[in-house]
A = this chain, B = another copy of it.
Amino acid sequence: MLFLWVCAFVEQYACFVVKCSIMNSTYVLTISCADQSSIIAAVTGCLAQNGCNILNLAQHTATDINMFFCRIKFEATDSFDLEAFKKSFTKLEEQYKLTWNVFDMSKKKRVAILVSKTSHCLYELLLKYADGELDCEIPVIISNHPDLAHVATSFHIPFFQVDTKKGKAEYEADLNEILAQYNIELVVLARYMQVMSADFCEKWNHRCINIHHGFLPAFQGAKPYHQAWNKGVKIIGATGHFATQDLDQGPIIYQDVIRVNDTRSIDEFIRMGKDVERRVLYEAVRRYLAHSIFVYQSRTFVIE
């Protein structure tokens, strides 16, 4: 049996959670291509012809690899026809060899949070969500332990416990079943203490964000704070990254650090690190939801 425990009263209280303000006709357009002349004028011209008003344009030419990345947030008038826009944009795609995407910001991403026993990252995401500072839906929380069910309950979100003892293939099948059932588009590993299989990482490629409690690429793997203390580093950190089959090697989305005196014990590293971890995970997820992350040659370019 798959589901050990589910909050029964979810439906009834669903209206309780504060929702982000909906901006019906806002879109985000992301573009990447080899750097070339007049690309910005071509793109902004196309938007103007389709009656779009640019709210924010951020671009970057990575001169080291001659690549162009651009994120445009625009507002569309009533007469805006998304399909017509896509068709006219396809012409630019051919001309400039663009990789591009357009997102309707009124359609919120559906995010699942996976946790084990520690609550600080889970609470951070839920509190930001409740405060309207995470522009998504969080329809389900999944864990390999029952410990944090009460947190899910207090935020009126269904909580599922999966049984990892079944074997990795079986339990990941359960996991995928729940994720499918809730139409999940992004998986967030919020201190979820299980290594995901290559298959799972492949399936959720660039759609699964993990928090590593160390400043990558140093201190990969287990017990990063113990590693850091034994090395005598003076600054510790955490890393939000896309999960890949190479453990703790996926593209880095966000990092932050905190200075530690040599009078700190390993336990204090762990305590102080928690605040960094929760902040980093939140910032990584926020950038994902804003469509600010470009992945190219195994690294990210976050363009804000």
A: residues with CB less than 8 A from B are 37-38, 40-42, 44-45, 47-48, 53-64, 119-120, 123, 127, 131, 133, 154, 215-219, 229-235, 237, 251-252, 254-257, 261-263, 265-266, 271, 274-275, 279, 297-303
Contact = CB atoms under 8 A, between A and B. Distances in A.
Given A119-B131, A215-B218, A216-B233, 18 more contacts: A44-B44, A45-B48, A55-B61, A63-B265, A64-B266, A215-B235, A216-B218, A217-B219, A218-B218, A230-B299, A231-B252, A232-B251, A234-B254, A234-B255, A235-B256, A235-B257, A261-B302, A262-B303
A266 B62 CA distance: 10
A56 B59 CA distance: 7
A186 to B, nearest CB: 20
Contacts of A274: 131
Q: Give the dominant DSSP class at A's interface.
A: mixed
Contacts of A154: 154
A44 B40 contact: yes
Contacts of A275: 279
B237 A252 contact: no
A301 B302 CA distance: 22
A300 to B, nearest CB: 5
B133 A127 contact: no
Contacts of A218: 215-218
How many chain copies does the complex carry?
Answer: 4
Given A44-B41, A120-B131, A218-B215, A59 B60 contact: no
B230 A255 contact: no
A131 B270 CA distance: 12
A252 B233 contact: yes
B59 A41 contact: no
Contact of A300 (B56, B232, B237, B299): B232
A263 to B, nearest CB: 4
Contacts of A256: 235
A301 B262 contact: yes
B262 A234 contact: no
A258 to B, nearest CB: 10
A279 B231 CA distance: 21
Nearest to A274: B131
Contacts of A41: 44-45, 47-48, 54
Contacts of A123: 123, 127
8 contacts: A60-B262, A64-B265, A120-B127, A123-B123, A154-B154, A231-B252, A231-B299, A232-B298
A105 B15 CA distance: 45
Contacts of A131: 119-120, 274
